Each structure stands twice: as C-alpha cells, then as structure tokens.
Amino acid sequence: MSATLRRLGFLGTVVAVYLFLLAPIAIVVIAAFNAGEYLRFPPEGFSLRWFWKFFASEPFVRAFWFSLKLASFVTVLSTVLGGAAAFYVVRHAGRFRDLLRLFLVAPLQLPAILTGIALLIFFYSVGLGTRGIVGLLIGHTVVSIPYVFLMVGAVLLRFDRTLEEAARSLGASPWTTFRRITLPLIQGGVISGALFAFITSFDQFPISLLLVNVGNTTLPIQLFDYLRFSFDPTAAAASTVSVAMSVAVVWLIHRLVGLEQVTWGGPR
C-alpha cells in the first residue's frame, strides 16, 4: 500500500472517529433549533420555539438555576479546600506526598455512582437525610476537590520558587509575596481547577441521582427524567444550554492555561 493511501486511510479514520464523537452533540444542538418535532433530514427549518418552551417550563428553569447555584457553591468550596491541600502536598508533605495525593484523588478513581450510594446511605445513617441542599453540596464537592487539587498542584510543581525568594529578599513579607508574586502567577491553574469543578458539578449525574430530593433537582436529573418518557426537543434546548456552557468552559481553560496542561492522572 502506498504511503499516500496509507496516510489517507489514517486521516479518514481519524476524521470518522471525531465525527462519531461529535455527531450526537451536534445533532442535539441542531434538533434544538429545528422547527419540527422530529429531526428529519433535511431539517425542517430554523426555529427557537423549543428554547421558548424550555424557558417557559417551570421545572426546567428551576432546575437550571438550582444547578447554577449549586455549582457556584461547590466551586468555591472545592477550590478553597483543594487549592490549600495542593499547597500542602506540593510544598510541605515530604514522605507522605504520594500517599496524600492518592487519597485526595481517590474520589476520581472510584465510580461516582458508588460514591453516591455510599453518601446516600451515610447521610441517612447519621440522620441528615437528603433534605435541602447540603447533601448535594457535599456530594458534588467530594468529586470536585480532586480536579482542583490536580490542577493547582500541577501549576505549583512548575512554579519557580526563587521568585518568592527574590521577593522576600527585597523586603516583602510572606503574605505580600503570596499576594503579589505567587498568586498572580498560579492563577491560571487555580481558575482552571475552579472551572473544572464548576462543570463537574453542573453536569454531575450519578451523585445527583442518589442525593436529589423532591424540592431540589438539578438540570441533568431533570433532563433525564424528561427523557425517560418523552422525546420532544425541549430537552434538546435544555441540552444545548448545557453544551454551550461546557464549550465556554473548555475554551476559557485553554485561554488561561493551555490544554496541554491537562494530563490524565495528574502531575507526575
């Protein structure tokens, strides 16, 4: 087989698989803007009716705002917790570094559904139940902390500490040094971690599945319930809103730290 043919074959395969990856998402977005109720080929026409239906649907809108609110709290909590832990592990942990890393990343290694089950049972065992937002907040934070920890840890590992020493030698106190030198230079990693945490919470399914209650449901759960029984493209509009959010986040992360920093398994 000639070299060009081989190259074409390889390229074709890559393109095909990428299409496979992206097609369903594109389809959903197209369906959201489709005038007709079923997606036909060729599409029936452009329309925003499903978006209006989405915005008019009380359960969906409520779920959307709830997801947003929840994700915001989760982001703040996991960023503070995960970021501080990253500082400790990278700079102060010594012999325990690997062990601590393993522990702090563990929620990522175990299936979220298992964690959700464990938390559900736990909350009831201690009498907390799944009332209110607390259980969900805790559950989401547990699986978000590892992301923040990994991203902030990665940035810290690469950080040149002589910069901090220079600042200290010039008269800056440890706090001033952190504020004016360290923080500005690691903020890309911190923000990326925070964004990851946000999206993890916003799109979270298994944990939410087990910990939502009647009063509070998240957008993915609401969407799921809807899809069990109907097929109408309001769900597509809801999904498109989700997709738009995710795309924005990925793009933001790339602008801030560059996607090359996302290594699976965390810093070596």
Which residues from 155-194 bind another protein, rule CB under 8 A? 160, 162-163, 165-174, 176, 180-181, 184-185
The residue among 55 and 164 lying less far from another protein, judged by its C-beta, is 164
Please provide the size of the chain in residues: 268
**Interactions with another protein, residue window 207-246 (CB under 8 A):** 209-210, 220, 223-224, 227-228, 231, 235-236, 239, 242-243, 246
Pick one of 31, 74, 151, 156: the residue that binds another protein (CB under 8 A): 31
- Cα angle at 78 between 125 and 133, to 5 degrees? 45
Q: Do 194 and 200 contact (CB within 8 A), yes or no?
A: no
Identity of the residue numbered 250:
V
* Min CB(189)–another protein separation in Å: 14
* Min CB(62)–another protein separation in Å: 17
Q: What are the start-end ranges of the H helices in the chain?
A: 3-33, 49-56, 58-91, 97-109, 112-125, 134-157, 162-169, 174-177, 183-202, 206-211, 219-229, 234-257
**Interactions with another protein, residue window 91-110 (CB under 8 A):** 91-93, 100, 103-104, 106-107, 110
Q: Please give the size of the binding site for another protein, defined by CB under 8 A.
A: 105
Tokens of residue 118, six digits = 């464990």
Q: Do 155 and 190 contact (CB within 8 A), yes or no?
A: yes
Q: What is the CA radius of gyration of the chain?
A: 22
* Min CB(22)–another protein separation in Å: 7
The residue among 73 and 205 lying less far from another protein, judged by its C-beta, is 205
Which region among 44-52, 58-66, 68-76, 115-123 touches another protein (by CB under 8 A)?
115-123
The residue among 65 and 251 lying less far from another protein, judged by its C-beta, is 251
Q: Do 74 and 144 contact (CB within 8 A), yes or no?
A: yes
The residue among 56 and 113 lying less far from another protein, judged by its C-beta, is 113
* Min CB(264)–another protein separation in Å: 4
**Interactions with another protein, residue window 34-63 (CB under 8 A):** 38-41
Tokens of residue 100, six digits = 């601590």
Q: Do 84 and 104 contact (CB within 8 A), yes or no?
A: no
**Interactions with another protein, residue window 72-91 (CB under 8 A):** 80-82, 84-85, 87-89, 91
Contacts of 94 (CB under 8 A, 6+ apart): none
The residue among 72 and 173 lying less far from another protein, judged by its C-beta, is 173
